[in-house]
Amino acid sequence: MAQTNLPEVSSKPFGQDGKALDGVRILDFTHVQSGPTCTQLLAWFGADVIKVERPGVGDITRGQLVDVKGADSLYFTMLNHNKRSITIDSKHKQGKRVLDALIKTCDVLVENFAPGALDRMGLTWDYIHKLNPRMIVASVKGFGPGPYEDCKVYENVAQCAGGSASTTGFRDGPPLVTGAQIGDSGTGLHLALGIVSALYQRMRTGRGQKVLCAMQDGVLNLARVKLRDQQRLKAGPLTEYSQYGEGIPFGDATPRAGNDSGGGQPGRILKCKGWENDPNAYIYFITQAPVWEPICDLIGEPTWKTDPEFATPKARLPKLNQIFGRIEQWTMTKTKFEVMNLCNAVDIPVGPILSMKEIAEEKSLRDTGTVVEVDHPKRGKYLSVGNPIKMSDSISEVTRSPLLGEHTDEILKDVLGFNPDEIEEIKKSGALSAPKKEEKAA
């Protein structure tokens, strides 16, 4: 049955009736990557994200991996688009006054401090909800409740604790972490979904709630196929893994599988023309059963289509090294893009290994807003990722990250409603500025 409590259908053209999260205000206590990933995504969808930073210091990533002297680092700028910055000393009496006012007027508080840090600031769940019972408090932590919940976690620690590292790499090598930030950014994406869900539930209940995303949990969610394979081991060897065809026994845990496909279809990364000098002249090639015959035709092995040694998926499994070796002889005669074009024409799934340089220069990614060019007053123009989620009626625009404390005055005036005398009192108290350095004696 259709819902009856929805507003009338907008008569404005798609993309011209605001953004998905217009009217939502986020109190952003996040820093580094996991939390800022979450709040930046919410900002791209139209939320007013107010980033609270320490006076004179700000988010630690402003000064990490600096490539332009005197400017915020790319580490910071690429994680804090579309936000406003206010500087507050949370330990100062007048600073606490401003924080309390922000809690009363915001919808969501997002934080990724070390365990217990928010409580030590006096911002306990009970305190926050006494001020604003509609407030949603969203947190990123390393681990959920259990023996490790008080441990600090960083990206690679999360990848290791979440099962990703143990299943990444080649069988005869050490565990490996991936270059994709599945611990930090991956958890931030999970948290954003939790926040939006809590906002939706609040429309029915009228109250806020706590939203927790543990980095270990987020990584495991992204590595779920490896937990699938752990259980499949009880029924016998994992036949789509290369080691099965090599006659190597399986242990009692999901092994590292190199570049084998995780979806059950045999796949490998193969060399292409120019691989001797280009570290990215490779392509991922999947020998999907429905397109086995076109594969045989392309690589010049038409007899494999009917040969009982190769004609069925089951027959091919013990011979994957031989099969991919033959396919690689063919791919090495062509560039990765030539292989892609030839394979796509007959529906063979392949993927060129694109370098970050190639991605940065890819016009189609610029056209869709997946890669954007942003102008910054201190560092000039730079490239960043745009919103990876495209909505037809909520068009994302990427604006630059804020300078430290850039929006302090307008937030005090326009958001919190302090009058000029109150603003002057708060500013004179030193609650919004860094302590002055003592002058050395002459």
Q: What is the pLDDT of residues 364-386, one digit of tens each?
A: 999 999 999 999 999 999 999 99
Annotated catalytic residue, options 59, 72, 184, 260: 184
Q: What is the pLDDT of residue 4?
A: 66
The predicted model gives 330-336 an average pLDDT of 98
Residues 265 and 312 in one domain: yes
359 pLDDT more than 60: yes
Report CA torsion sign: 411, 416, 417, 419.
negative
Kindly state whether residues 214 and 82 are assigned to the same domain. yes
Q: Residue 336 is part of which domain span?
A: 258-348
- Whole-angstrom Cα distance, residue 198 to residue 137? 10
Chain center to CA of 67: 23
| Residue 311 and residue 181 share a domain | no
pLDDT surpasses 80 at 202: yes
User: Quick check: is 339 in a domain?
Assistant: yes
Half-sphere exposure of 53 (CA within 13 A, CB side): 30
Judge if 157 and 293 occupy the same domain. no
What is the CATH number for 63?
3.40.50.10540
**Taking residues 262-284, what's their average pLDDT?**
94
pLDDT tens sequence across 137-196: 999 999 999 999 999 899 999 999 999 999 999 999 999 999 999 999 999 999 999 999
Residue range 198-206: mean pLDDT, rounded: 97
**Which of 252-256, 315-319, 349-353 shows the lowest mean pLDDT across its residues?**
315-319
pLDDT, tens digit, for every residue of 11-68? 999 999 999 999 999 999 999 999 999 999 999 999 999 999 999 999 999 999 999 9
- pLDDT at residue 240 tops 90: no
If asked whether residues 375 and 325 sit together in one domain, one would say no
pLDDT (0 to 100) of residue 3: 58
* Domain-embedded: residue 232: no
In a domain, 110, yes or no: yes
CATH number at residue 286: 3.30.1540.10
Is a pLDDT exceeding 90 seen at residue 434? no
For helices 93-105 and 420-428, give the axis angle rounded to 10 degrees: 130
Same domain, 342 and 312: yes
Pair (405, 317) in one structural domain: no
17 is catalytic: no
Q: Is residue 234 part of a domain?
A: no
State which of 348, 381, 412 marks the end of a domain. 348
φ, ψ for residue 155, nearest 5 deg: -45, -60
Whether residues 129 and 271 share a domain: the answer is no
Tally of domains within the chain: 2
Strands in 215-362 per DSSP E = 267-271, 282-286, 350-352
In-domain check, residue 403: yes
**Does the residue 215 lie in any domain?**
yes
Residue 441 has pLDDT above 70, yes or no: no
Beta sheet of 136-141, edge-to-edge order: 83-87, 48-53, 25-29, 108-111, 136-141, 210-214
Per-residue pLDDT tens over the stretch 253-263: 999 999 998 77
- pLDDT in the model for residue 5: 80
Residue 188, in any domain of the structure? yes
In a domain, 241, yes or no: no
